[in-house]
Structure 1
Amino acid sequence: MPKGTPGVTSQAVAVFLASLTLCTQLWANEIQKGEYLARAADCVGCHTSNPSRPFAGGYRVPTPFGDVYSTNITPDPDTGIGRYSADEFVRAVQKGIRRDGADLYPAMPYDSFAAMSREDVLAVRAFLLAQPPISQPRPQNILPFPFNQRWILVLWKLANLRTGNFTPDPSRTAGWNRGAYLVEVLGHCGACHTPRNTTFGMDENRKLAGGTAGIWQAFNITGDKIAGVGGWSDDELFRFLKTGAVPGKAYAGGPMAETVMNSLQHLSDEDIHAIVAYLRDVPAQPGDERQPRFSWGNAPVTAGGAGAKTQGSGSIDGDTLYRSLCSGCHGMKGRGSPDGSYPSLIHNTALGAATPENVVMTILEGIKAGDVAGRKSMAAFSGWLDDGQVAALANYVTARFGNPDLSVTAADVRQMRAGSTTSQTIMVLTAQSLVVGGAVLMLGLLLLLARRLHRGMTSARLMFAHRDRR
């Protein structure tokens, strides 16, 4: 062996090890980046039904058209994304197309994720592939006809899906552009906070003017001083996004509380400030409120408001229910606990809203606060109270501590408990009529076209037969 060969071999090994270390570090950085992006997109929130099985899917996403269940996004090869190539994963996130070519329901907000950069999507993929694989098939969606037919998603995409990566506005600051990317794309805030148009896509003319997340109302977060957050300071917005609680203004509930718990509290302060900066620049949109939601709370603190004697099952009134179920945490005067772990019901946006859905859903489902910033969760009473009792309690707390114009009946509660509201039911029936009517019209046109073609071919055959006889 020539002299000096061992030295060359050692040098090659050293170079190889250095390259391997560099690649490992780069991959680790990619996973770390993907973890942060997945937090910003709240992937775990919608893709986890059992906290002991993160990202394994099965989470129920209620929609006006029925229940859609989230998919498994662990690396499991059979029930997860283990067989997805990089291109297939990007296509699923940005265009809502599964590996087998089927269209995904827009319960996954790919109409927002469409503007994600390929690099960010692949970083999320790297993070997900680094998670333990979990075998867990997705439950069947519960959707009535025709919404259980995936072919209609092609029409929905034609009307509502806009492709193309996010383009920063050069006239704006880097912070503003970062906030725009977080709000419009990664955080997909519009999926809940923007009302829907006639094709059930986000109404871009009323961006962030308020929408729904299931039955929960996602409030107006534009700069309108009555309907939106124009009466909030930057510090208050920052605190709400980071902790879900701003005494004297609002306490996050329902899906928003879970978003704070799973996503927003983990973002950097710089990114939260960027979100605030962008929201400040969203055009103000008016709503149905006649005064700011947080301004309610000046009603007398003694019992006897309009809702106090609303009867429930067994003639149990709202005052009795409040005393037995709520006063221990919220206080007899509704001021909550001194440390803020149990929220005040006075100057609380849920009780000052123009509609009662969030009050009813809070009673039915409770609040999952995750002890963020010391805030305690609230128990669900859906299994304890009947529809009349829920209505009595909801009417009592809104009349005494919030907007006295709110009123809910046992029938309203029954419908919300079942997963819909009257307006959503009307919307679904209208959509069914439009889709079925459109399908019937299309079929009629096809039959008419086929009949004309048949007549044309018959005429042609007769003409040629007559010519041949001559």
Structure 2
Amino acid sequence: MRRGRFPRPDPTLLFQAFAATIVRSIVAGLALLSLCIQLRANEIQKGEYLARAADCIGCHTSNPSRPFAGGYRVPTPFGDVYSSNITPDQDTGIGRYSEDEFLRAVREGVRRDGTDLYPAMPYDSFAKMRREDVVAIRTYLLTQPPITQPRPENILPFPFNQRWALRLWKLANYRPGSFTPNRNRTETWNRGSYLVDVLGHCGACHTPRNMTFGEDEDRKLAGGAAGVWQAFNITGDKTMGIGAWSDDELFLFLKTGAVAGKAYASGPMAETVMNSLQHLSDDDIRAIVAYLRDVPPQSGDEQQPRFSWGGTINVGIAEPGNVAQGSTHAAGDLYGSLCSGCHGIDGSGSPDSSYASLTRNSTLGAATPENVVMTILTGVKAGDVAGRKSMAAFADWLDDGQVASLANYVTSRFGNPELSVTAADVHQMRAGSTTEQTVILLAGQTLVMIGAGLSLGLLLLLARRLRLAARLSGFTSAHRDTR
């Protein structure tokens, strides 16, 4: 049988086929590259949004020109803690952190070197963050410019400057786990729960502390402290909390920090609106409102809502006598020269709320004067959110007596007339604490020392018993050998 001969391939056709294969490979490669780029862009965008929701920039930025470089002072009842650098810098930031090491730092409060972090970093809330959310935040942070900036040393008295004490705190208050949606609730409610309790860590400020200085779970969101500032009750109670607010008012306050006739955010809350809440989607803000509506109401000692105080005395009348510190005439002069230009002689502010009204304002109607005093001392950083204007700080302009006089003047005319503050109170707040926090500090020192003493005593007792058991064992063995 004669073998057939294969036809010689046409070189042109071969070249065309080869070229088509190359083109298809290039197109497929470009499509895959484009998909990878898009996925990474989506991951970075997601991470940026989640970082906003968690307000990372608020606590990790001390200088606006150096975002995420740390050094932000976080006042606590036990002293000052400074935030760490979370830029990609290799030496002072998170540039050397692996994915798992970053997860451990965020959710467990443990640094790369194994050292426990102070709970000024709210890892007790972040413990329930989804892994993919933490990874997305890390992806976003690694795209930021690396900034070399070492963290300042914390200013903490003994024994709180001892990291081993954090093990005791974690043992009492840290609860690892994962966020589990409630199947009996709506998707919106569950989203709000995740934003409030986990990402937004609202309880870190708005929940009072228990005797071990962890969040009091029985008084959830019933009001707490952010340094000297008082974080108000945000449960459904109609007097102490937000029960008398409408959904629209809550939405507006979270988005802008201002609701005429109710409240104007100041201090850490104003910064949270500026850095975080204003950037959240409307759906997420509504989810927060839906969840807060369902938080069990927690009552307190106040007899009427903070926003209900409308002012009882004409501010234009300067009555003789003293208002806790200094004469009313002197305080009225201070108000007229420093405050009336923005807030008005009658305290009504501006119609568009760009300048806050002092009447029906929860800051002046509170039962404690800390927020009024701190607003005068440190001003308000509003960031021009929804047109709101920032307020200048008067800490360098006014002495303690003048601040006390002005605080008493505005509360007596526009807010709760039962409030009063002294120059000594102002001096302590200016230094970064209150009398109550000083008591807490002393109590904390006592508790830690007692805990350490008990632990040491138990270890010594255990060691003694082990030695005694070893001696008895040796005696028994020797007795057997002599038989």
Q: Calculate the TM-score normalised by the size of structure 1.
A: 0.95
- Asked whether the 8 Å contact 1:309–1:319 carries over to 2, the reply is no
Segments of 5+ residues of structure 2 without an aligned counterpart are 1-10
Equivalent residue for 1:273, pick from 281, 286, 291 = 286
Q: Does 1:198 align with 2:211?
A: yes
Range moving further from structure 2, 64-73 or 302-311: 302-311
The alpha-carbon deviation at position 373 of structure 1 amounts to 1.0
Answer with 1 or 2: which has the greater Rg.
2
Range moving further from structure 2, 391-400 or 444-453: 444-453
- Asked whether the 8 Å contact 1:195–1:207 carries over to 2, the reply is yes
Q: Does 1:351 align with 2:364?
A: yes
2-structure distance, mates of 1:456, 1:188? 50
- Asked whether the 8 Å contact 2:257–2:264 carries over to 1, the reply is yes
- Which residue type is aligned with residue 120 of structure 2? A
Q: Does 1:422 align with 2:432?
A: no
Q: 1:468 to 1:179 in 2, by over 3 A?
A: closer
Compute the RMSD of aligned alpha carbons. 2.1
Equivalent residue for 2:95, pick from 77, 82, 92 = 82
2-structure distance, mates of 1:455, 1:275? 60
- Asked whether the 8 Å contact 2:88–2:144 carries over to 1, the reply is yes
- Asked whether the 8 Å contact 2:325–2:423 carries over to 1, the reply is no
* Percent identity of paired positions between Structure 1 and Structure 2: 73
Equivalent position SS for 1:163: coil
Show the 5 A alignment for 1:219-298. Answer: 219-298=232-311
Partner of 1:66: 79
1-structure distance, mates of 2:120, 2:372? 24
- Asked whether the 8 Å contact 1:308–1:319 carries over to 2, the reply is no
- Which residue type is aligned with residue 433 of structure 2? S
2-structure distance, mates of 1:446, 1:204? 31
- Which residue type is aligned with residue 423 of structure 2? A
- Asked whether the 8 Å contact 1:310–1:396 carries over to 2, the reply is no
2-structure distance, mates of 1:283, 1:456? 54
- Which residue type is aligned with residue 281 of structure 1? D
2-structure distance, mates of 1:275, 1:306? 48
The alpha-carbon deviation at position 434 of structure 1 amounts to 1.3
Q: 1:188 to 1:452 in 2, by over 3 A?
A: closer
Q: Calculate the TM-score normalised by the size of structure 2.
A: 0.92
CA deviation string 1:67-120 (max 9, x = no partner):
111111111111111111111111111111111111111111111111111111
- Asked whether the 8 Å contact 1:219–1:228 carries over to 2, the reply is yes
Q: 1:16 to 1:307 in 2, by over 3 A?
A: farther
- Which residue type is aligned with residue 329 of structure 1? C
2-structure distance, mates of 1:195, 1:268? 29
- Asked whether the 8 Å contact 2:349–2:355 carries over to 1, the reply is yes
Range moving further from structure 2, 240-249 or 381-390: 381-390
Partner of 2:229: 216
- Asked whether the 8 Å contact 1:307–1:400 carries over to 2, the reply is no
Q: Does 1:91 align with 2:132?
A: no
- Asked whether the 8 Å contact 2:313–2:413 carries over to 1, the reply is yes
CA deviation string 1:415-470 (max 9, x = no partner):
11111111111111111011112222332343344445555656666777788788
Partner of 1:31: 44
2-structure distance, mates of 1:51, 1:115? 29
The alpha-carbon deviation at position 340 of structure 1 amounts to 2.0
Partner of 1:446: 459
- Which residue type is aligned with residue 72 of structure 1? N
Equivalent residue for 2:115, pick from 102, 115, 126 = 102
- Asked whether the 8 Å contact 1:305–1:399 carries over to 2, the reply is no
- Which residue type is aligned with residue 413 of structure 2? R
Range moving further from structure 2, 333-342 or 17-26: 333-342
- Asked whether the 8 Å contact 1:310–1:317 carries over to 2, the reply is no
2-structure distance, mates of 1:383, 1:465? 80
Partner of 2:312: 299
- Which residue type is aligned with residue 195 of structure 1? P
Partner of 1:367: 380
Partner of 1:145: 158
1-structure distance, mates of 2:358, 2:319? 15
Range moving further from structure 2, 85-94 or 301-310: 301-310
Partner of 1:134: 147
